[in-house]
Amino acid sequence: MQTFQYPVPAEWPALQQRAAAAEAAEVEARVAQIFVDVRQRGDEALRHYAATFDGVQLTDLRVSGAELEAAAAQVPAELQQAIRQARANVEKFHATQFYTEEPVETMSGVTCWRKSVPVQRVGLYIPGGTAPLFSTLLMLGVPARLAGCPEVVLCTPPQKDGSVNPVILFTAQLLGITTIIKAGGAQAVAALTGGTESVPAVDKIFGPGNRYVTAAKQLATRYGVAIDMPAGPSEVLVIADSTANPAFVAADLLSQAEHGPDSQVLLLTDSVELLPRVTAEVTRQLAELPRREVAAQALQESRAILLRTPEEMLFFSNQYAPEHLILSVENAEQLAEGVTSAGSVFLGHLTPEAAGDYASGTNHTLPTNGYARNYSGVSLDSFLKKITFQRITAQGLQQVGPVVETMAEAEGLRAHARAVTLRLESLAKK
C-alpha cells in the first residue's frame, strides 16, 4: 500500500481518485460495441463471448432443470446450512422494510394515496468468474421474492466445463429462481437490456461487477432499462485509531482487495504507531491468501493515510464516499453520527465488513466509485415502484378546482384549466 503522512486538503482529491477512472472512456467504448453486437446477433453473440472470455463452447445458454436439481448434491451440508441461515437473516432485515401508507385527505373531498407495486421483470447479475458470489444472489433474490416480482432472470458466467457453479444453482433453487442464463460480463447486461432468443428482456437490472459490468449497466439506462445503482469494483475505507487491532484492520482491508485487481482499499488513521503495524500485517496476511495475486494488484492502487484528528478522517471519508466504511475506533457510534456519504457502515472493532457481505442481514449490493453521495444500497424498495392514486368528489372538485384553474391559466395551459371548468359547470347544472 502507498503511505502518506499528513497530506494537506488540497492533496486529498488525488488520494481519493479511483484507479478505474482513467480508463473509463476506453471501457465505455468497448461496452457500446458489445451492446450493438448482442442486439444484432442475440444468442450467437453470447456464445461467441462465452468462448472468448470464459473459454467455453456453449450450445444451450439456459441452465436445464436437471442441472438445477443436481446442484444440491454437490454442495456440502455445512455450506447449505450456512446459506439457509444467511437467507433467514437477510429476509428478516428486509421484511421490516414493508410499510403501508394511509390515504391522505389534502382537502375535504380530495383523497390521495400511494401503493407499492413490484417491478414486473427483474434481471439479477451474479459475478461468477474468479469468485462465484452466491452471497450476492441472496442479497438480490431475497428482496426480489419479498417484493413479489413475477419474473426473475438470473445471469451468471459459466465455468470452464460449461456448467454454472453448483452453489449458485443451489441458492437459486432455494429462492425459487429457475430462469438462469449462462452469460457474464457486459454481454449479459446487454442481453437483459434488449433480450435475445434465450434471454428475456427485463425492466430493471441488479448486481455488482467489474468496471465493464458497471459501464454496461449505465449504458442500459439509455435503452430505457432501470438499474439498482453503479456497483463495482469493490472498495472499503477503514478509519482506525490507536485502540484498533492491526491484524483486524489488515484483514478488513484484504477482504476487499481480494475481490478483484481493480478493487480499492483505504486506511485512515491518526495513530503514528498503528500505521506501520497495519501495513506490516497486510504484508504478512497477504502471503497466506489463496487470491494473493489478485489482492496484491488491488493494493497497488490502495493507500494508507495518516491524518491528525477523527474529524479530519471523517471529512476525508465523506468526500471519498466509500462503498464500505469501517469505524474501528473507540467511540464508533459517536463518530458515526457524522457520516453523510457511505454505502454501509460497520461500527467498532468486532464488526467486520465481511459480516455484512454474507450474513448479518443488511444488503451488500452498494454504490461504489463515489456514488454513495447520491445512491443508497439495494433494499426492498429497490424492487418496488410507488404509484400514486387520487379520488376527488364533487365537493372536493369545487374546492380544488378554482386553484387548478388559476394556476393553469397563469402558465398558459388553457386545456388544463378547461378540464376542470367543464366539470365544475356540469356540477353547477345539477
Give the strand order in the sheet containing 179-182. 179-182, 151-156, 121-125, 204-206, 226-227
**Per-range mean pLDDT, top range of 200-214, 220-234, 329-343:** 329-343
**Catalytic amino acids?**
323-324
Q: Which domains are seen in the chain, by residue range? A: 2-17+233-376 (3.40.50.1980), 42-228 (3.40.50.1980), 393-428 (no CATH)
Tell me: pLDDT of 102 over 80: yes
Confidence at residue 21, expressed as pLDDT on a 0 to 100 scale: 57
What are 2-17's pLDDT values in tens digits?
999 999 999 999 999 9
Average pLDDT for residues 146-161, to the nearest whole number?
Answer: 96
Confidence at residue 129, expressed as pLDDT on a 0 to 100 scale: 64
What are 38-55's pLDDT values in tens digits?
999 999 999 999 999 999
Residue 297 marked as a ligand binder: no
The cell numbers describing 301, all together, are 492502487
Residue 349 marked as a ligand binder: no
Tell me: pLDDT of 99 over 60: yes
How far apart CA 143 and CA 92 sit, in angstroms, is 10
205 beta partners: 123, 227
The cell numbers describing 114, all together, are 400511494
Other residues' Cβ atoms within 10 Å of the Cβ of residue 36: 11
Per-residue pLDDT band at 280 (split at 50, 70, 90): very high
Residue 125 marked as a ligand binder: yes
Per-residue pLDDT band at 207 (split at 50, 70, 90): very high
Specify the higher pLDDT residue, 397 or 133.
397
> How many percent of the chain have pLDDT more than 90?
91
What are 219-271's pLDDT values in tens digits?
999 999 999 998 878 899 999 999 999 999 999 999 999 988 889 999 999 99
Tell me: pLDDT of 298 over 70: yes
How far apart CA 239 and CA 241 sit, in angstroms, is 7
Residue 324 marked as a ligand binder: yes
Tell me: pLDDT of 296 over 70: yes
Name, in order, each residue with C-beta under 8 angstroms of 40's C-beta and a sequence gap of 6 or more.
none
Residue from 324, 328, 323, 327 nearest 337 by CA? 327
Mean pLDDT of the chain: 95
How far apart CA 195 and CA 193 sit, in angstroms, is 6
How far apart CA 271 and CA 77 sit, in angstroms, is 44
